[in-house]
């Protein structure tokens, strides 16, 4: 049974995002939230998470990347057939999973600046989609996602900018004139909802101004199996069977992630946009 109706798909294609309600039930969500707590405790205990007085909450509850490589339970959730089915509906062909991110979005944490995920993903062709699983209820007060509708139709904007925040920023922020309408839509989700959005859609998240409410979520990025080159995790892409596949690295991607590749390789080639 499809997850999106024709009307849903039309909305996604026009606006660049959509919310699929109730994909996961409350028991499934609670299981992942319990896992998040265990992962966090283990990393604090082992000294992998240390508080930075300059960013006390962001550093204490940082985003966690590619945890499926070290945790089988999260890998199983990542490979859940519903995730790949949704991605295939959107992409129109068999998907490959590029990577994952665990968000805590703790109380009293800052907003995530507007950005485009395909700046990090660096897919050629650039067809990719994000799935964002809501693990807590979200609204503007506790850091819900926000989108600039239809921004995916304008391609990628300049990325020749430094990252502005050491904790939690996935991509270089979009600043200056974008040449598009800057209407911002702030969404609300319930636990178990899945937000999908195009890799070129400009989006961010509100600050969490609450005192007690987390806004946990699990994000996955998918491209097509026919992708020619990828920048992020190009040696570690997952198919729906959980097998790891590789693709050539997009060496002409901009200088935005010096930690992913040695500087010598990062210097090769020009920007592709």
- Give residue-wise pLDDT tens across range 6-58: 999 999 999 999 999 999 999 999 999 999 999 999 999 999 999 999 999 99
* 81 has a pLDDT exceeding 70: yes
Report residue 182's pLDDT band, with 50, 70 and 90 as the boundaries. Answer: low
Q: How far is CA 72 from CA 75, 176, 231, 235, in A?
A: 5, 42, 25, 19
Q: How many CB atoms lie within 10 A of CB 269?
A: 12
C-alpha closest to that of 237 among 228, 250, 246, 248: 246
Q: For residue 198, what pLDDT is reported?
A: 97
CATH of segment(s) 6-156+190-266? 2.60.120.620
Question: Which residue spans within 104-144 are E strands per DSSP?
Answer: 112-115, 128-134
Whole-prediction pTM value?
0.86
Residues 6+ apart with CB under 8 A from 103: 63, 168, 215, 216, 217, 218, 219
C-alpha closest to that of 52 among 42, 40, 43, 62: 62
| Extents of the domains making up the chain | 6-156+190-266
Burial class (CB in 10 A: 0-12, 13-18, 19+), 4: middle
Q: Which 3 state secondary structure label does DSSP give 138?
A: strand
* For the chain, percent of residues with pLDDT exceeding 70: 83
Distance of alpha carbon 101 from alpha carbon 111, whole angstroms: 17
Q: For residue 237, what pLDDT is reported?
A: 95
Span 114-140, average pLDDT: 91
Residues 6+ apart with CB under 8 A from 102: 36, 39, 63, 64, 65, 67, 74, 216, 218
Q: What is the pLDDT of residues 218-230, one digit of tens each?
A: 999 999 999 999 8
Structure-block tokens of residue 268 = 């090769």
Contact 163, 172 (CB under 8 A): yes
Distance of alpha carbon 221 from alpha carbon 47, whole angstroms: 28
Question: Which residue spans within the chain are E strands per DSSP?
Answer: 17-20, 64-65, 95-103, 112-115, 128-134, 145-147, 185-186, 194-198, 203-205, 217-224, 237-238, 244-245
DSSP letter, residue 189: B
Residues 6+ apart with CB under 8 A from 86: 3, 4, 20, 23, 131, 194, 196
Higher pLDDT, 153 or 183: 153
């Amino acid at each position: 049974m499809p997850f999106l109706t024709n009307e849903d798909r039309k909305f996604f294609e026009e606006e660049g995002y959509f919310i699929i309600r109730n994909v996961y039930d409350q028991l499934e969500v609670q299981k992942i939230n319990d896992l998040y707590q265990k992962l966090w405790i283990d990393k604090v205990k082992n000294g992998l998470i240390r508080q930075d007085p300059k960013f006390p909450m962001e550093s204490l509850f940082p985003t966690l990347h590619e945890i499926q490589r070290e945790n089988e339970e999260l890998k199983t959730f990542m490979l859940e057939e519903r995730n790949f089915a949704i991605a295939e509906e959107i992409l129109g062909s068999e998907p490959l999973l590029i990577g994952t991110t665990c968000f805590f979005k703790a109380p009293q944490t800052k907003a995530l600046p507007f950005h485009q995920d395909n700046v990090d993903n660096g897919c050629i062709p650039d067809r990719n989609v994000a799935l964002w699983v809501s693990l807590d209820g979200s609204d503007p007060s506790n850091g819900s996602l926000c989108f600039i509708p239809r921004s995916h139709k304008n391609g990628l904007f300049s990325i020749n900018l430094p990252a502005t925040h050491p904790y939690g920023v996935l991509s270089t922020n979009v600043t200056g004139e974008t040449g598009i309408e800057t209407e911002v839509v702030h969404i609300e989700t319930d636990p178990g909802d899945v937000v999908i959005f195009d890799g070129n859609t400009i989006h961010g998240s509100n600050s969490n101004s609450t005192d007690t409410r987390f806004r946990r979520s699990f994000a996955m990025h998918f491209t097509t199996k026919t992708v020619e080159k990828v920048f992020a995790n190009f040696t570690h892409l997952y198919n729906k069977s959980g097998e790891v596949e590789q693709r050539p690295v997009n060496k002409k991607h901009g200088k935005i992630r010096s930690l992913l590749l040695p500087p010598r390789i990062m210097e090769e080639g020009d920007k592709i946009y």
